[in-house]
Amino acid sequence: MAENGKNDGGNILSAGDSQTLDKRVAARQLIKRYYFQLTEGCGDSNCNNEHCASSKKVQNLSPNQAAAQALDLFARKGRLCVGTGKNELPSTLFPEITPASTSAISDQQLLKISNSNLKQGLWVAPALSVSGHTANDKSGISKPTKLTETNFKQIVDNCKEYGIYSKLVHTLGHVFANPELLGKSFITQGNNSCTSTLGHGQLSKEQLRSMEVDLDKDKDSQEAVAEPRLQDVGQEVSVDICCVRRSFEALSSIEPQNYESALVHALILLCETIELDMKFGRQKAEVNLLNVFVIVFELPWLGTGDYFESVLPTLCRACALLPLTQQATLVRFWAAHSVPNLRNLVQTLQQLISFRVLSGDFGRDYAINDDNTITACVKVMRILYCVNIFSCTTPSSKLTGASVDSMETDDPSKDSFDTRKNDPLMSELGVNVLDCRQPPVAFADFYNEPLSDVVEMDRDFAYFAAASEAPPSASNNALKISFMNFPFILTPAAKALGLYYDNRIRMYSERRQSIFNSVMNGQPSNPYLKLKIRRDHVIDDALIGLEMATMENPSDLKKQLVVEFEGEQGIDEGGLSKEFFQLVIDQVFNPDYAMFAFNSDTRNFWFNPTSFESDAQFTLIGIMLGLAIYNTIILDIHFPMVVYRKLLGRKGTFEDLQELDPTLWKGLTELLEYPDSDIEETLMQTFSISYKDVFGVVYNHDLKENGASCNVNLENRREFVELYADYLLNECVGRQFAAFRRGFAMVTEESPLGTLFRPEEVEQLVCGSHIFDFEELQNATEYDGGFTAQSETIKHFWSVVHELSVEDKRRLLQFTTGSDRVPVGGLGRLKLIIARNGADSDRLPMAHTCYNVLLLPEYDNKEKLKERLMKAIDYSKGFGML
């Protein structure tokens, strides 16, 4: 491929091979011949070419007029006489242009000529100079090199003063089409003037050092161990981003039609050149790609017009090819300098992804995973997502796997989530999404609903599984991209579907293994995890059944759950399991059971540190929580968010105390903000605390050695607050939570749960959504047995439903589906079916909770339907639910 440099005519090479170089040289020679044909002629006295001076049809032209017409003839492929053959252009070809001499050719015509040639892969700049800037080369085409804020603003000011934009067009087309020149432009002098103080947390020393222009020697020595690659050269960002912004602001003062087309085509050429060079490993070492991307992403027009439709897609395809180390450097730089602009960039990329998704024709033959532009945009979105996390991560919240729940020293499963697959870019940066509590851009803003709705999760999961099983040496190009590897872009509902496929495959695998062992080894066939439960001994029977399963073969927990209530007929197709889970939850969280303490202010449950129940009981609750997720069953559990953070591998901290105990959190916050230095005399608080259990018994505890004799003062109040929160959230419930987490890990240790979901999303998996939108349920409901959406009984039914209170609506859900919780993604994903169950009668409605089917007689009027339906809901415990 030809180098992206400049030849003797100052032209920029397009992405191509040596044939492109020949075309450019030939183009330049043609323009010369057109010029001499217009000024001196071909020498044939009988020439009849109207564009040749020898034909006497060409009026006396000034050098500028001749140059302009030569460009126009080249663009139009005008007639060229054979006899024109001079090789050099006079140095005085392009004298200074004054306002009085611009009538020969307009700037719009020059733009038209230039853009025409750009579309052909060439850049033939208008050979005009502005305000005394005369071309020095023999071709008359000025050759701008790198840009600075000063010379760029000078060009802009001169163009505005004289109303001639040829110099600006030439400069933009020349520099912004050349990666090498653009990478050397707007270089910082000394310290970057745009270094900002982040308002979302203090950066660690390691993060600040990684943002320095000069990389640390120790980092260089570490990277020297690996085999050097050309793509890893030049990983520093040396752009003065404030200069870039001021320069673009100056450019914005000019009407876009005077330069926009040239800039757009130059940027397309730039990005395509970079993309091809990086794909084929021909990137030049002297090209600073990070500088190029920093400058281009600062363009304020990326979300509009041709920039959005043409430049942004090619820019994303090029940026997505950056090596991981360079992406990490880009993240560090943007986290320091571009956080205020982060939301705009995210929204612009989201619009592009949505536009491509909605305008594309995707199906089984051409999946959304095959669209290079969409996948490239998602990869760039990952960079912005990491910027979002990196900018708000605090050192105190970064915990290694060994430090998470350190009280679980005898727990072999404690690291099951700490060793989960992390995003490679986050691993390179040393950050985790769990360490970011208040990001500049809300995590929900990274969801793309159109993409989540269109992506075929069964196929995407297959790509995800293939990538997970591929050896590290496998080429990424040989594997299809899976959006499950970019979970931030998928809605919780889409990710829940991906998790469902993973769980079902594991269930079927265990079922096949059981049948194989039965046939080949003569073992009893046990394809399901069967629990036989007595209603008056639910906890005891569940505990015994699960303990036996884990002792005999822990992998039995990965089988499909089947529940059988003793003395009752019924086949568990999901409905009996839902009822079983609800019965267990009702008993375990009963205050009389005293396993959990209830906070009436927050209406959340927390582990009782003085509980007399054995570890096996808490392990059972952990297993039940894991089985509920594994079997796609929603539970009515009210835990604070810190429980899910701890399950995913992070200790509770002072920030988590706000949800668990708002009153205590407020008091400790006031302590931290106390302005005077007389804390010790005023508060008289020591490092010894007291608390009550659920029975009202008071306990005392020293937060550190001799805590009762150590007073809290101005210097140690932060230590007191952190020790207090650590004791309440981690230490005092260490035994109970260790057992709980152990049971949870027994079911989910091999699941991609920790990779796909954040704590807030895990809570949705367990508890469902909090939005009861019955309009959405009505729109998604199907009808059977003769009912349609227009049936009179159906109209009466929905009229009654919409008039119910929220509590009655929850009971209706419980009656029809076996659960009063809203699934992840809303009621529209519930798939309710209303079937006609005979003509009008006094029978009550019935429900098949396993299949979400409501059997509804065709009642004559609305009043009777409401009376029969409410009676069925009121007395549905044990009756009417099949």
What is the greatest pairwise CA distance in the chain?
A: 119
Which structural domain range is residue 730 located in?
528-767
Number of domains making up the chain: 4
Q: What is the pLDDT of residue 144?
A: 58
Structure tokens at 428: 């390179």
Listed in sequence order, the DSSP H helices in 366-477 are 372-390, 424-429, 449-454, 457-469
Q: Are residues 809 and 763 part of one domain? A: no
For the ranges 41-55, 228-242, 564-578, the lowest mean pLDDT is seen at 228-242
Q: Is residue 653 part of a domain?
A: yes
Q: Please tell me the distance from the alpha carbon of residue 151 to that of residue 157, in angstroms, as a whole number.
A: 10
**SS3 category, 479:** coil
Q: Please tell me the distance from the alpha carbon of residue 799 to that of residue 152, in angstroms, as a whole number.
A: 67
Mean pLDDT in residue range 865-873: 89
Q: Please tell me the distance from the alpha carbon of residue 153 to that of residue 174, in angstroms, as a whole number.
A: 16
Give, to the nearest 10 degrees, the angle between helix 149-162 and helix 241-251: 10
Please tell me the total number of residues recorded for the chain in this structure: 882
| Confidence bin at 206 (pLDDT 50/70/90) | very low
Beta bridge partners of 239: 187
Q: Are residues 819 and 799 part of one domain? A: yes
Element (H, E) at 9: none
Domain boundary among 304, 333, 360: 304
Task: Identify which of 846, 704, 713 has the alpha carbon closest to the alpha carbon of residue 785.
Answer: 846
- 743: CATH: 3.90.1750.10
**SS3 category, 198:** coil
The answer to whether 585 and 635 have CB atoms below 8 angstroms apart is yes
User: Does residue 228 carry a pLDDT above 90?
Assistant: no
The yes-or-no answer on residue 47 being catalytic is no
Task: Identify which of 504, 499, 437 has the alpha carbon closest to the alpha carbon of residue 759.
Answer: 437
Q: Please tell me the distance from the alpha carbon of residue 799 to that of residue 780, in angstroms, as a whole number.
A: 16
User: Does residue 168 carry a pLDDT above 60?
Assistant: yes
Q: 57-76, pLDDT tens digit by residue?
A: 887 787 777 887 888 888 77
Residue with tokens 């700037």: 107
Q: 490-546, pLDDT tens digit by residue?
A: 999 999 999 999 999 998 888 888 888 878 877 777 788 888 888 888 888 888 888
Q: Is residue 167 part of a domain?
A: yes
Q: Is residue 415 part of a domain?
A: no
User: Does residue 270 carry a pLDDT above 70?
Assistant: yes
Q: Are residues 102 and 31 part of one domain? A: yes
Single pTM value for the model:
0.75
Residue with tokens 């003839």: 73
Helix, strand counts (H, E) of the chain = 35, 10
Q: Please tell me the distance from the alpha carbon of residue 80 to that of residue 26, in angstroms, as a whole number.
A: 14
Mean pLDDT in residue range 330-356: 94
CA distances from 515 to 512, 522, 532, 560 (A): 5, 10, 21, 14
Q: 814-861, pLDDT tens digit by residue?
A: 888 877 777 777 787 778 899 998 888 888 898 887 778 899 999 989
User: Does residue 104 carry a pLDDT above 50?
Assistant: no
Q: Please tell me the distance from the alpha carbon of residue 31 to that of residue 418, in angstroms, as a whole number.
A: 66
Q: Are residues 276 and 158 part of one domain? A: yes
Q: Are residues 240 and 113 part of one domain? A: no
Q: Please, what is the average pLDDT of the chain?
A: 78
Q: Please tell me the distance from the alpha carbon of residue 723 to that of residue 707, in angstroms, as a whole number.
A: 11
Q: What is the pLDDT of residue 26?
A: 63
Q: Please tell me the distance from the alpha carbon of residue 699 to that of residue 301, in angstroms, as a whole number.
A: 63
Q: Please tell me the distance from the alpha carbon of residue 404 to that of residue 730, in angstroms, as a whole number.
A: 10
Q: Is residue 411 part of a domain?
A: no
Q: Is residue 647 part of a domain?
A: yes
Q: Residues 42, 47, 377, 850: which is the catalytic one? A: 850
Q: Is the dihedral of CA 561, 566, 572, 576 positive or negative?
A: negative
Answer with the residue of higher pLDDT: 864 or 575.
864
DSSP, res 881: B
Q: Is residue 867 part of a domain?
A: yes
Q: Please tell me the distance from the alpha carbon of residue 712 to that of residue 719, in angstroms, as a whole number.
A: 9
For the ranges 435-439, 598-602, 754-758, 859-863, the lowest mean pLDDT is seen at 598-602
The answer to whether 125 and 173 have CB atoms below 8 angstroms apart is yes
Q: What is the pLDDT of residue 353?
A: 95
- 797: CATH: 3.30.2410.10
The answer to whether 616 and 543 have CB atoms below 8 angstroms apart is yes
Q: Please tell me the distance from the alpha carbon of residue 304 to that of residue 312, in angstroms, as a whole number.
A: 10
For the ranges 318-332, 457-471, 567-581, the lowest mean pLDDT is seen at 567-581
Q: Is residue 648 part of a domain?
A: yes
Q: CB within 8 A of 381, min separation 6: which ones?
A: 346, 349, 350, 353, 446, 486, 488, 489
CA distances from 662 to 369, 531, 602, 639, 853 (A): 45, 40, 8, 15, 42
| Confidence bin at 172 (pLDDT 50/70/90) | very high
Q: Are residues 643 and 731 part of one domain? A: yes
| Confidence bin at 735 (pLDDT 50/70/90) | very high
Q: Are residues 114 and 76 part of one domain? A: yes
* β-bridge pairing 698-702 and 782-784: unpaired
Amino acid at 313: P
Q: CB within 8 A of 140, min separation 6: which ones?
A: 67, 89, 91, 93, 94, 127
Q: What is the pLDDT of residue 126?
A: 39
Q: Are residues 173 and 70 part of one domain? A: no
Mean pLDDT in residue range 370-385: 95
Domain boundary among 257, 277, 304: 304
Q: Are residues 671 and 788 part of one domain? A: no
Q: Please tell me the distance from the alpha carbon of residue 1 to that of residue 453, in angstroms, as a whole number.
A: 41
Q: What is the pLDDT of residue 512?
A: 87
Q: Are residues 272 and 177 part of one domain? A: yes
The answer to whether 491 and 452 have CB atoms below 8 angstroms apart is yes
User: Does residue 355 carry a pLDDT above 90?
Assistant: yes
Q: Is residue 456 part of a domain?
A: no
Listed in sequence order, the DSSP H helices in 398-537 are 424-429, 449-454, 457-469, 492-521
Q: CB within 8 A of 770, min separation 6: which ones?
A: 822
For the ranges 63-67, 369-373, 556-560, the lowest mean pLDDT is seen at 63-67
Q: Are residues 534 and 662 part of one domain? A: yes
| Confidence bin at 468 (pLDDT 50/70/90) | confident
Work out the number of other CB atoms within 10 angstroms of the CB of residue 837: 18
Q: Please tell me the distance from the alpha carbon of residue 745 to that of residue 543, in angstroms, as a whole number.
A: 17
Beta bridge partners of 853: 833, 848
Element (H, E) at 144: none
Element (H, E) at 628: helix 615-630
Q: Are residues 726 and 617 part of one domain? A: yes
Mean pLDDT in residue range 116-123: 40
CA distances from 97 to 64, 103, 104 (A): 8, 11, 11
| Confidence bin at 235 (pLDDT 50/70/90) | low
